[in-house]
Amino acid sequence: MVVIRARDARVERRDGRRGLRTTCSEWSAVGMTAHTPRCLLIRHGQTAWSLSGRHTGRTDLPLLAEGEAQSRALRPKLAHQQFTAVLTSPLLRARRTCELAGLEDRSIIDPDLCEWDYGTYDGLTTPEIWEERPGWDLFADGAPGGEAAADVSRRVDRVIERIRAAPGLVACVAHAHVLRVLAARWIGLEATGGRYFVLAPASLSELDWERGQPVIAGWNQT
CB burial readout 96-107, b (16+ within 10 A) else e: bbbbbbbbbeeb
> Which residue of the set 12, 26, 35, 44 is catalytic?
44
Handedness of CA 151, 154, 160, 166 (dihedral sign): negative
Does the active-site annotation cover 175?
no
Q: What is the pTM of this model?
A: 0.86
CA distances from residue 172 to 22, 25, 47, 48, 131 in whole angstroms, order as listed: 18, 22, 18, 22, 35
Q: What is the pLDDT along the chain (222 residues), one digit of tens a residue?
A: 556 655 444 433 333 333 323 333 333 333 444 479 999 999 999 999 999 999 999 999 999 999 999 999 999 999 999 999 999 999 999 999 999 999 999 999 999 999 999 999 999 999 999 999 999 999 999 999 999 999 999 999 999 999 999 989 999 999 999 999 999 999 999 999 999 999 999 999 999 999 999 999 999 999
**Domains in the chain: ranges and CATH:** 28-221 (3.40.50.1240)
pLDDT at res. 22: 30
> Which residue of the set 55, 115, 175, 177 is catalytic?
115
Does the active-site annotation cover 80?
no
